Structures are given as C-alpha cells and as structure tokens.
Amino acid sequence: MAAIPVVCIVAKSSGTGKTTFLEKLIRELVERGYRVGAIKSTSEFEIDKSGKDSRRYAQAGAEIICILGHERYAYIQKTPEKVKLDEVVGVFKDVDLILAEGFKDEDKPKIEIVRKAKGTDVFSSGKNLIAVVTDVENLSVEVPQFGPDDFKEVAELLEKHFLKKEIDTEMDKPHLTHFNEQGRARMVDVTGKGITEREAVARGEVRMAQETLQLIAQGKMKKGDVLAVAQVAGIVGVKETSRLIPMCHPLSIGSINIDFTLDYENNKVLIECQVKVSGQTGVEMEALTGVSIAALTIYDMCKAVDKEMVIENIRLVKKTGGKSGTFIRKGER
C-alpha cells in the first residue's frame, strides 16, 4: 500500500493564520471529494472543545484528527459505533491526504505562511518547500506563490502533486499533458479552465564585440535602427507564437512590452519581454518567443560586422496567474 502523503503547513512564528488557512483548505478538499486527516502539535492538551483547533478541523470535514502533546497524544475520529482497540491502530489508513499544522523541522513537503506583519523572510528551502501563502507582493521564491485567501488554488496544487498524479506505467515517468493515450502529440484542452489575468516576463542577452555595441548605440548599422526593428520583430514573435510552437494556443494578447538595455561593461544587449493576457492559459511561451525573435533580429541586423555574436541566457523570470500561481526566478529583480 502506498504511503499516505503528508503536507506540513508551517510559519516562522505564531499569529500568521495557519489554523484558519488549514481549516479552509480542509473544507475545500473535502468539497472536492477527498478524505483528509489533520495533525496538530500543541503544548496545551485541550481537545475537541468549541473554538479549539481540533473542533475547527472536524467541523471543516477532517475525518481523523491527531492532537500531539508533549507527553501524550489523542485521535479524534467519528465512528458509527464503538470501536475496538485493534481498529484504532493505523487510523490514518483511510484518508487520501494528511495536513499537519507545524512540524517545520520534518522532512516533509511544506507550504509556508508568510505574513507581512510577522516579517518577509522565507525560512523553508530546498525540495521540501512546494508553495508559499503570503500577503507580501512579489516575494522572491522559486515555488508557486498564493494569497491568504487562495485556498482553492492551493487545493488544486495539492491535487496536482499528491492526489491525482498520473504515471506512465510503461515508461515509469510522469505523464506529459501534451501527449494523448496513444502517445501522439495533442493540444491541451483548456476549455474547462477559468479566465484569469496572466502575465509572463522573459529575458535574454546578445553578447557581442565592443565595437558592435557602439554601432548599435550610435545608430550606425547599415540596416538601420537595430533596436527599433528588433522591438517590432519581438512583438510580431509574441503574436505568432502559436504558429511557431505547435502545441501553443492562439491567444488574444492584451499587452506586449519589449525593453532593451545596453550593458557596456559586458558588451551585451539585454532584452526583456513582458506579456499580459486575460485568458485560460499562460503566456510564458509568448514572452520567451518575443525575447528569442528580438535577439535573432539583433543578430541579423549586425551579422555583417560581427558574426561571433552569441545569443544566451534566455529564461522565464516571472509568471503570475493560473493554477500554479506566481513564479519568480531566484536572483531576478
């Protein structure tokens, strides 16, 4: 039998709203048809009283609750009749997921609560941190970022990672959504997704000779204004992404902004492409395509004088909206 997944809801200090968020998360998961167990560690061993966390978890729909004290522990489980001792052993075997409040030192997947009033540092790190719930805007983390009221989105994240994981039994690898049951390419069905505001920012660089950068800055390239042409090309690239990348959906792009920075110290043109849309799928590929086409255009405009130019470091630095929440690449401003 596969082990029941355990996810810890942690915070650096008390008063961050862990219990309230966990209570809402339990209720959302139960409404989606999952059986949820809850674990709470406490120094005050009062259980199942009105207002106590154990009662709140039970009212939210948790099937089994374990309260851990310093010297003892107790299970709270609704049963239709008197239960024998042997049946109490392994009481968590009939749930789909266990949510544990606290236990930040455990080697388990963690969702960290970060509240502005308690500081903006994220203490969890590494592979165990799967998401951050915060009221701090643009917190620099490499995992999905949600607001304090985004318990539905967090429930979807838990579904994706722990409750509805699809495995390719033939290859023993994660199921890729761009392939159908016959292993052939397909476009993902997004018709059931809600329309949300989405944004993506991508960056890239073109490294060149110092003389080439000076010609660009002075507008002396024979083909014309390099950056003006590259900007238009990047915008066209964003709009044509679905024609270039086979499984990308055609989108009604709401906004495209492409900026260039001349880095004289490193002899580079730095490119940033920001794309916004109100739709059912994200615009990461559009932003990356915009940067790529702008970079290729710079190369084309300048190749007569510098064939050793290098297009490099094209990467997604930020995305917001959608089921996976906010992503911000570590180290990027």
pLDDT per residue, tens digit, the chain (333 aa), is: 457 888 888 888 888 888 889 899 999 998 888 888 888 877 665 665 665 777 888 888 887 777 776 666 666 666 656 655 555 445 666 788 888 888 778 888 899 898 888 777 788 766 688 888 888 887 778 888 898 889 899 999 998 888 864 433 343 444 445 544 544 455 566 555 667 788 999 999 999 999 999 999 999 998 999 999 999 999 999 999 989 988 888 888 999 999 999 999 999 999 999 999 988 788 899 999 999 999 999 999 999 999 999 999 999 999 888 766 788 888 776
Task: Name the segment(s) of the chain with CATH classification 3.30.70.640.
Answer: 196-328
CATH H superfamily, domain 6-165: P-loop containing nucleotide triphosphate hydrolases (3.40.50.300)
Whether 300 is a known active-site residue: answer yes
pTM of the model: 0.49
- Among candidates 239, 250, 234, 245, which has minimal Cα distance to 290? 234
- For the chain, give the number of residues: 333
- Tokens read off for 313: 């470091």
Query: From the candidates 48, 135, 263, 300, which is the catalytic residue?
Result: 300
Task: Name the segment(s) of the chain with CATH classification 3.40.50.300.
Answer: 6-165
**3 state SS of 248:** coil
- Cβ-proximal residues to 327 (8 Å cutoff; 6+ apart), any chain: 142, 143, 144, 145, 316, 318, 319, 320
* Chain-centre distance for alpha carbon 85: 43
CATH H superfamily, domain 196-328: Molybdopterin cofactor biosynthesis C (MoaC) domain (3.30.70.640)
The pLDDT value recorded for residue 303 is: 94
Helix residue ranges per DSSP H, the chain: 18-31, 53-60, 85-88, 151-158, 210-218, 226-239, 241-244, 284-302
